[in-house]
Amino acid sequence: MKLKEYCGIVGVYNKEEAANYVYLGLHALQHRGQESTGIVSTDSKIFYEHKDHGLVNEVFNKKDVMSLLKGKMAIGHNRYSTLGDNSISNIQPLSAHFDMGDIAIAHNGNIINAESIKKNLVEKGAIFNSNSDTEIIIHLIAKSEKKTFFDRLVDALKILKGAFSLIVMRENEIYAIRDPWGFRPLSIGKLDDSVVFASETCAFDLIGAEFIRDVKPGEIVIAGRNGIESYEPFEKKEEQKCAFELIYFARPDSYLWGQYTYSVRKKMGEILAEESPVEADIVIPTPDSGVPAALGFAEASNTPFDFGLIRNHYVGRTFIEPSQSIRNFGVRLKLNPARDVLENKRVVVVDDSIVRGTTSRRIVKMLKGAGAKEVHIRIASPPVIAPCFYGIDTPTKKELIASSHTVEEIKKYSTADSVAYLSLDGLKQIVGESGYCFSCFTAQYPIEFDK
């Protein structure tokens, strides 16, 4: 089975104890992947690596692990795969040795033509260690007949279709790359004389790095002996930044594509309140992802904001649990109602999105069970009707409740007194008409699929 990679990536160039900075960066990006994590470092002679299943602080807290990751350059990766492939060979960064030396790659995204590329390579005798897309990139680079590493890298990447934000390390330099559509984020930061790359700017904040700018769609940025170099070798495409990063995936304190995610989410709540007002006594969020939108909703509707659901912070995101039966249980593991806040109240509960509908249904039951008189669900994104093929973990179309149910039917299923979503126009009012991928809301995919 092919693995999809929903991930966080970090790279540090030219810093003593680079691996320690990458470790901290990965810690800040833990929300982008909780299944496994890894760091590869180099002293420009040897590549050192440590990878394992688990959270960043579990994997790297073992005695001596960090001191073994030597050198002034390091890259790291957190993985968020739900396909349950436990093989250690799938944990990134992937590293390999080829005719031009050592290479390590950390990838965030999903390459949609990976299967056909892999088939081709296997037919020509290539042997694969993992079933992740990333290994394909290494093979393509190694196989390219171009003379320089840079040309071989470009040659390889030109074959790929889909989402790829990449950090690539060689003995003396680190490359940061975004696919020509720019689906996934990747930013450049500066820490004294060092260059830092990370999926989100919250990683820079933790290590005290200064945000410089985003890697542009289709750009290859090289941090090396010549400082920072930038190249744009790919054919220009229409930008397709993932709207769902702003809605749910990125951390609220990250500065993403020119805006703070927190403010964008708050604005989503405000517009939602204007589009779908409701008479209520309190507005509560589904914590944590619904908090900024709920605040925006409360402010715009002049309704008191409160915490009616208390989150247990020691469980992962809802999706991590493997089966539907456990997932149902998972909502209760994570959230508990605050009875004194809810009793006899007309409650608006704001969440960022509905995917399968499990959370909403459970929450309505919980809130009513705790004495809420009315429960109105407000969702700060349009209905998710189609799966993502560009690097966000969404289930199959069949499992997405809004792909086969109207809002009225979702209301019935959830047993809420009303349900309303932010409109696509409302969302575009905030992020802009163009430059974003809205395919999970429209089922219109910006890159054609292979037949």
Of 352 and 417, CB closest to ligand AMP:
352
289, 301, 303, 414: residue in contact with ligand AMP (rule CB under 6 A): 289
Of 203 and 350, CB closest to ligand AMP:
350
Q: Please report whether residue 351 would count as binding ligand AMP according to CB under 6 A.
A: yes
Of 32 and 50, CB closest to ligand AMP:
32
Least distance from ligand AMP to the Cβ atom of residue 289, Å: 4
Q: Please report whether residue 414 would count as binding ligand AMP according to CB under 6 A.
A: no
Q: How far apart are the first and last CA of the chain?
A: 19
Least distance from ligand AMP to the Cβ atom of residue 352, Å: 5
Q: Please report whether residue 387 would count as binding ligand AMP according to CB under 6 A.
A: no
Strands 374-379 and 418-421, by their bridges, are: parallel
294, 377, 392, 437: residue in contact with ligand AMP (rule CB under 6 A): 392
Least distance from ligand AMP to the Cβ atom of residue 310, Å: 15
Stretch that binds ligand AMP, among 34-42, 131-139, 192-200, 353-361 (CB under 6 A): 353-361
Of 354 and 375, CB closest to ligand AMP:
354
141, 393, 420, 447: residue in contact with ligand AMP (rule CB under 6 A): 393
240, 358, 414, 439: residue in contact with ligand AMP (rule CB under 6 A): 358
Q: Please report whether residue 317 would count as binding ligand AMP according to CB under 6 A.
A: yes
Tokens 């007309």 — which residue? 346
- Note if 440 is an active site residue: no
Tokens 């704001």 — which residue? 350
CB 331 within 8 A of CB 274: no
Of 214 and 245, CB closest to ligand AMP:
245
Q: Please report whether residue 318 would count as binding ligand AMP according to CB under 6 A.
A: yes
Stretch that binds ligand AMP, among 229-237, 332-340, 347-355, 364-372 (CB under 6 A): 347-355
Least distance from ligand AMP to the Cβ atom of residue 190, Å: 31
Full 3-state SS string of the chain = CCCCECEEEEEEECCCCHHHHHHHHHHHCHHHCCCEEEEEEECCCCEEEEEEECCHHHHCCCCCHHHHCCCCEEEEEEECCCCCCCCHHHCCCEEEEECCEEEEEEEEEEECCHHHHHHHHHHCCCCCCCCCHHHHHHHHHHHCCCCCHHHHHHHHHCCCCEEEEEEEECCCCEEEEECCCCCCCCEEEEECCEEEEECCCHHHHHHCCEEEEECCCCCEEEEECCEEEEECCCCCCCCCEEHHHHHHHCCCCCEECCEEHHHHHHHHHHHHHHHCCCCCCEEEECCCCCHHHHHHHHHHHCCCECCCEEECCCCCCHHHCCCHHHHHHHHHHHEEECHHHHCCCEEEEEECCCCCCHHHHHHHHHHHHCCCCEEEEEECCCCCCCCCCCCCCCCCHHHCHHHHCCHHHHHHHHCCCEEEECCHHHHHHHHCCCCEECHHHHCCCCCCCCC
Q: Considering 7, 202, 437, 440, which one is annotated as catalytic?
A: 7
Least distance from ligand AMP to the Cβ atom of residue 130, Å: 23
267, 356, 368, 411: residue in contact with ligand AMP (rule CB under 6 A): 356
Q: Please report whether residue 245 would count as binding ligand AMP according to CB under 6 A.
A: no
Q: Please report whether residue 319 would count as binding ligand AMP according to CB under 6 A.
A: yes
Of 273 and 379, CB closest to ligand AMP:
379
Stretch that binds ligand AMP, among 45-53, 233-241, 317-325, 418-426 (CB under 6 A): 317-325
- Among residue numbers 47 through 86, which ones bind ligand AMP (CB under 6 A)? none
Contact footprint for ligand AMP (CB under 6 A): 248, 286, 289, 317-319, 351-360, 392-394
Catalytic (active-site) positions: 7
